[in-house]
Amino acid sequence: MIRYFLLSLAAVSGLACAAPPAVQSFFEDSQFKDAKLSPSGRYVALRVGDSKQRDQLMVFATDTLEPVGGARMSQLDVGDIRWVNDQRLVFNVVDRRETPGNINYAPGLYAVNRDGKGMRQLVNHEATEKDTTGTQIHTRIEPWNTFLLDDAGAQDSDYIYLQRPVRDKLSTFVIDHTELVKLNTSTGLSSMVARPVAPQAWLLDSKGEPAIMISEKDGRNTVHYRAAAGSEWRALASFDTFGKGGGFEPVGFSDDQHLLVRTSIKNDKVALHVLDLATGKIDPQPLIALSGFDFSGKLVYINKHLAGVHYLADARASVWFDEGMKAAQADVDKQMGGLINIITPPALPDTPWMLVASYSDRQPQFYSLYNSKSHELKGIGSNHPGIRAAEMGQQDLVKLKARDGMEIPAWLTLPPKGGKKLPLVVLVHGGPYVRGTEWGWEADSQFLASRGYAVVQPEFRGTTGYGMHHFTAGWKQWGLKMQDDIADSVKWAVAQGYADPNRVCIMGGSYGGYATLMGLVKDGDLYRCGIAYAAVSDIPLLLDDGNWMLSDMGDSYKKYGAPKLVGDVQRDAAQLEATSPLKQAARIKRPLLLAHGSDDRRVPRVHFTKMRSALEANKADAEFVEYTGEGHGWSTVENRVDFWTRVEKFLDKHIGAGAKTE
């Protein structure tokens, strides 16, 4: 029997409302932002809050859902949460009501018992030195630049491992290397993990101990391994950081003798392979290979043994090696038909309770608890309870042919009632050398669909996740073939009858903002308007050493990555000028909404100011908005709602119901 305590049944019903959901329903902070199962499975920790109440940590017993404890901060929000053991948790803090430019402290770190007692500050908020009792053993709080690792750790003692990025001496924002700190969350005692080189990243083994260290020097990555604490680190492999293959990415351990890695061996797609730690050789037969996608995923352990893998294909899914988990997945999927259900078992199970995260393209994620013995499912809460599935659009992964014959994946989201010859927004992802999106509810595209727009999100060449050929085909193609792929996705939507060719707008942030500006430069006849935010306006300006104090872009990427992927500022000067929206601003003749954050460190504010000046000089039909204190995107609810309200009005004026036909 399924029982839902906090999930509104209207969210999954077929009921429809006359008016579309409010802007805030899409862009307010999630109510249930995180859920973590304790190592035994006896408790679940939740991070809960809304626009009126600060995020707090709440702990419930899984068998009764009765509250047993938690923690809150009076003037700050609880951030990431992590179980240390079944008795103790750690959490950092954030301020969701402030913009990045107005925050002058670090996240810090606190430990607390599950009943809310025994709270201890572990990491400082301010950038100040702390007292020590020697060169390696520290007794007070850690310095501000100390953060949680992605790895959960052993969860069977009071110890956790933390990462400490060390800044480049010549830059405020660039990381030189990252130290690893072992910390006792009860006593505050800490020690630094010894290492022979300056590492960039660390990976714990299935027992929660540091076993993999990755360093980078002169454009090459080296993967180091040690079999046990105190033993010597040895190099497993070295390869080009920004090369076309031949390297691998450690994912985790299958056992003491084998490391699981992401790599491609004589194949276009990256798969999960087994590396023998004794020989350093990789088994050419993949453990997990996905048809049409590069492998990306996370290992799941039960009692420190590999139980399965959560992975991403078109949507998220799991493969289980543990027979009990196979049965649990089948049962949950049967009870929760039509949804993606990601199950997380307890790391050191003492109960049959498991955590389930469920979602679909129309349904935002919500959490449940599942009992593998009684088969009971009981709901906990939804990220966006104000969203009703019936008011959302259907999302599909489609394949289209670019003008040169290359196959381009794209995501198509239609309004809830579907339709033909609709106004279209082509939504361009940032990066650009990342994966764009995946199947599932997404605020940006669903907001646009709820307003009657068809939305196409092309995974243009250069996008990762679809194979090496797809990735490398986008190298040095900013404003060229990458731009053609975006235009061709629009032409595909028109040819299929989804889009009205006279009502198309291009929109995106970061690289997507660059592509929006270049779309108006290069394909002005195709688009009626553009919306660009946090936009790159000129590639040399992005890579200019004169902006090093304003940018968080690493020197290694500038020296070794950017010349391969984007272009060389000197050798490719003519190409970069021809594909510069800033240099080609006079060619922008369509209406434009341009937005930026004053404290953006990825694409510094100078991109916005120079582009604004160029557009104003050419008397362009452009609207400008600058969000004071914001970084690379919008962090506060107020700014997100303001921006998307502007987007709604801008689109309505130019391609929506209020648009004038030409």
pLDDT in tens, 98-135: 888 777 678 999 999 999 999 999 999 876 544 444 44
Inside any domain, residue 609: yes
In terms of Cα–Cα distance, which of 41, 186, 43, 39 is closest to 112?
186
Measured in degrees and rounded to the nearest 5, phi and psi for residue 276 equal -80, 115
Mean pLDDT (whole number) for 479-493:
98
Terminal-to-terminal C-alpha distance of the chain: 58
pLDDT in tens, 401-451: 999 999 999 999 999 999 999 999 999 999 999 999 999 999 999 999 999
Q: Does residue 172 register a pLDDT over 60?
A: no
Question: In this structure, what CATH number is given to the domain that contains residue 569?
Answer: 3.40.50.1820
| CA pair distance 370, 378, nearest whole angstrom | 7
51 or 536: which leads in pLDDT: 536
- Per cent of the chain over pLDDT 90 is 79
What is the pLDDT, as a whole number, of residue 455? Answer: 98
What is the pLDDT, as a whole number, of residue 52? Answer: 80
Of 139-143, 145-149, 590-594, where does mean pLDDT reach its minimum?
A: 139-143
What is the pLDDT, as a whole number, of residue 128? Answer: 54
Inside any domain, residue 293: no
In terms of Cα–Cα distance, which of 227, 147, 221 is closest to 181?
147
| CA pair distance 278, 133, nearest whole angstrom | 39
Could you tell me the two tokens for 45?
């920790």
What is the pLDDT, as a whole number, of residue 564? Answer: 87
Q: Does residue 15 register a pLDDT over 50?
A: no
What is the pLDDT, as a whole number, of residue 205? Answer: 93
Q: Does residue 284 register a pLDDT over 60?
A: yes
Q: Does residue 388 register a pLDDT over 90?
A: yes
* β-pairing verdict for 2-4 and 340-344: unpaired
| Residue 170 binned pLDDT confidence (cut-offs 50, 70, 90) | low
Inside any domain, residue 493: yes
| CA pair distance 308, 326, nearest whole angstrom | 9
Q: Does residue 457 register a pLDDT over 50?
A: yes
Sheet holding 147-148, edge to edge: 147-148, 159-167, 175-184, 190-192
Measured in degrees and rounded to the nearest 5, phi and psi for residue 305 equal -120, 145
Q: Does residue 93 register a pLDDT over 70?
A: yes
| CA pair distance 299, 10, nearest whole angstrom | 35
Inside any domain, residue 147: no
Inside any domain, residue 298: no
547 or 140: which leads in pLDDT: 140
* HEC-encoded secondary structure of 429-496: CCCCCCCCCCCCCCHHHHHHHHCCCEEEEECCCCCCCCCHHHHHCCCCCCCCHHHHHHHHHHHHHHHC
Give 497's contacts (C-beta < 8 A, 6+ positions apart). 420, 421
What is the pLDDT, as a whole number, of residue 5? Answer: 36
Of 62-71, 93-102, 268-277, where does mean pLDDT reach its minimum?
A: 93-102
Q: Does residue 379 register a pLDDT over 60?
A: yes
Mean pLDDT (whole number) for 631-646:
96
Q: Does residue 181 register a pLDDT over 70?
A: yes
297 or 19: which leads in pLDDT: 297
In terms of Cα–Cα distance, which of 450, 427, 456, 442 is closest to 363?
442
Q: Does residue 22 register a pLDDT over 50?
A: yes
Q: What predicted TM-score, i.e. pTM, was given to this entire model?
A: 0.91
Sheet holding 499-509, edge to edge: 395-401, 407-413, 454-458, 422-428, 499-509, 529-533, 592-597, 622-627
Q: Does residue 658 register a pLDDT over 90?
A: no
What is the pLDDT, as a whole number, of residue 550? Answer: 53
What is the pLDDT, as a whole number, of residue 11? Answer: 38
Strands (E), 168-270: 175-184, 190-192, 199-204, 210-217, 220-225, 234-240, 249-255, 258-263
Structural element, H or E, at residue 511: helix 511-522
Could you tell me the two tokens for 164?
């400490």
Mean pLDDT (whole number) for 641-649:
98
- Per cent of the chain over pLDDT 70 is 92
Domain count across the chain: 1
Q: Is the distance from CB of 556 to CB of 216 less than 8 angstroms?
A: yes
Mean pLDDT (whole number) for 88-106:
85
Any idea which residue has 């990825």 for tokens?
602
Q: Give 404's Cβ-side CA count (13 Å radius).
A: 10
Inside any domain, residue 238: no
Inside any domain, residue 73: no
**Distances in Å between the alpha carbon of 77 and those of 52, 93, 173, 383?**
12, 6, 24, 16
Q: What mean pLDDT is reported for the chain?
A: 91
Could you tell me the two tokens for 101?
């430019």
Q: Which one-letter DSSP state was computed for residue 288?
A: B
Q: Does residue 241 register a pLDDT over 60?
A: yes
549: left (phi over 0), alpha (psi -120 to 50) or beta: alpha
pLDDT in tens, 61-73: 999 999 999 999 9
What is the pLDDT, as a whole number, of residue 492? Answer: 98
Inside any domain, residue 404: yes
Does a cis peptide bond (omega within 30 degrees of 0) precede residue 432? yes
Dihedral in degrees, nearest 10, Cα atoms 380, 384, 390, 391: 170
Mean pLDDT (whole number) for 177-205:
93
Q: Which one-letter DSSP state was computed for residue 290?
A: B
What is the pLDDT, as a whole number, of residue 135? Answer: 45
Give 40's contacts (C-beta < 8 A, 6+ positions apart). 86, 346, 348, 349, 350, 351
| CA pair distance 539, 559, nearest whole angstrom | 14
- The domain in which residue 629 lies consists of 393-654
| Residue 96 binned pLDDT confidence (cut-offs 50, 70, 90) | confident
* β-pairing verdict for 258-263 and 199-204: unpaired
What is the pLDDT, as a whole number, of residue 657? Answer: 86
What is the pLDDT, as a whole number, of residue 552? Answer: 59
Q: Is the distance from CB of 36 to CB of 389 less than 8 angstroms?
A: no
